[in-house]
Every structure is written in structure tokens, then in C-alpha cells.
Amino acid sequence: MPSPETREFSVEARQVPSPAVKEFIHKVVNRVHFFPDRHDIELELAAHIEDSMLFLQEEGGLSQEEAEKAALERMGDAVEIGIALNRQHNPVLGYIWYFSRIIAVLLCIIVIFQSVPMLLVSGWTILFDHPIRDIPKESIVRHVKPNELIKLDSRRIRITDVIQTEDGDLHVLYSSYNLSFSGLHGWSSSGLGIFKDEDGETYFNGGGRSSAGIYSRARRSLDNFPFEKEKLIIEWDYAGRYYKVEIPLGEVVNNG
């Protein structure tokens, strides 16, 4: 059996494959038509040949040259090995997988670049942006908090406040978000439906605003909503989807 000094020298020497080993590996990988796998195959073949040589030297007492020759003979015909590996590393399936992985990475990058700004906007909305702050407190004559949750497909809308000011405007404040990842935008300010009172009269005039983002807050304002009306009805009937919400408005106070 070789001495420890000889064995250590042999291992270091085999770190760089000899010309014969390189030629054998080249013949094998030259038959593999899926190029991205060639480098890994080269490393595996080189490691396998090195392990075989080391075994033959330590257990069989062969010299490095003898062990290399025997290890290559044990491997078999390089061309046949290459043909077999080419079947395992099918170039058609390999390239489909290879480019699919590239496309998946690109899609992930696109989604990240699209979603991060929206997440930042939504975070700003949750922490700092609320349409109720635009309504002067001294102008409020009635204020109710219905906390009504509306479910419309994957969208969730929560009506948080209904406020009427002394000028007669009625403000409906709500938040919305989408349970699906496709919902990367907020609802428009007019996206709640048709507004009516308890007598069936509809109200269209007004304005509002809405923040963008996965989570958004919005306000829909109705002009000249009569103070004597006691109920606000919001109704949605479109494309086979329907909901109806009735909100008692309470009494008018401080309407001088």
C-alpha cells in the first residue's frame, strides 16, 4: 500500500485531469447535445474517474499511470456512454425546461417591479391617507359608522363611514381590496353602485376620490342629499352580480 506521503501527492496530482482523461471526457460530452448540462457531466465523469483511480491505487497497489488506464477501461466506450447520456439529457426537453426557467425568473422580476410600488402605495394609504380628513369636523351634521362588508367575487368593500355636512353633501367612505393577485389597483370613486333614498329617488351628482393600491380608501360624495331622508340605499346589479345595502342615517344635529 502506498505511504501517506505518496497518497497525498497522488490526490493533488489528480486535481488536474491528464490528457488521456480529458480526451475521454471530451468524447463523452461531445455526444451530449444539451449544452447547458455538459459542464456538470464533465465534473461528474472527472470525479468518478478520480475515485476509481484512488481506489485502484490504495486497494490494488497500482501506480498512478496504471490506475488511470484501468479506471478508463472500467468506464467503457466513451462514445456509447455519450449516446446514453444524450438520451437521458434530452435536448428538446432540456431546452424547454431551460428556457421555461429563464421565463419564470423574468416573470418573477416583472411581478416584483409591478407589485412593490403598489405595496408601498397601499402601505401609505393604510398609515396616512384617509378621505375623512378632508371633511371639516365643524361642518358635520350627521355621522354614522355602518361597517358594512360587501363581497363581490374576489373583491371586498367595507363601508366605514357615512357623513353629511351642513351644505347637504352626503359622503360615503369605504375601503376596498382584492383577494386575488390580479387586483393591483383600487376601485374608482364611483365604483359602489346606484345610490338611492328610502323613497327610491336616485342620486348621481357629486364627486369623490380614491387612492390606488392593493388596498385603497375612497370617498363618494352625493350633492344636495335631503336632510329629511332617513336611509341611504346602495344597490349593485351588473353582469349577474347583485347586492343591496341599506344604511340608516340617524338624526341631523347642528343644522342651523
Domain boundaries defined on the chain: 4-89, 133-248
243 vs 32: CA distance, rounded Å: 63
Q: Which of 12-21, 118-127, 230-239 has the highest mean pLDDT?
A: 230-239
Decide if pLDDT at 111 tops 80. no
Q: Report the CATH architecture of 133-248.
A: Sandwich (2.60)
What average pLDDT does this structure show over 168-177?
90
Q: Which amino acid is at 88?
A: Q
Give the three-state DSSP class for 89. Answer: coil
Return the pLDDT at 213.
61
| Rounded CA separation 196/198 (Å) | 7
How far is Cα of residue 247 from the mean position of the Cα atoms in its chain? 38
* Cβ–Cβ < 8 Å for 127, 138: no
| Position 193 pLDDT exceeds 90 | no
pLDDT score, position 216: 80
Question: Residue 51 CA to chain centroid, in angstroms?
Answer: 44
Give me 35's grid cell.
449544452
pLDDT score of 121 = 57
What's the CA gap between 199 and 231, in Å, rounded?
Answer: 9
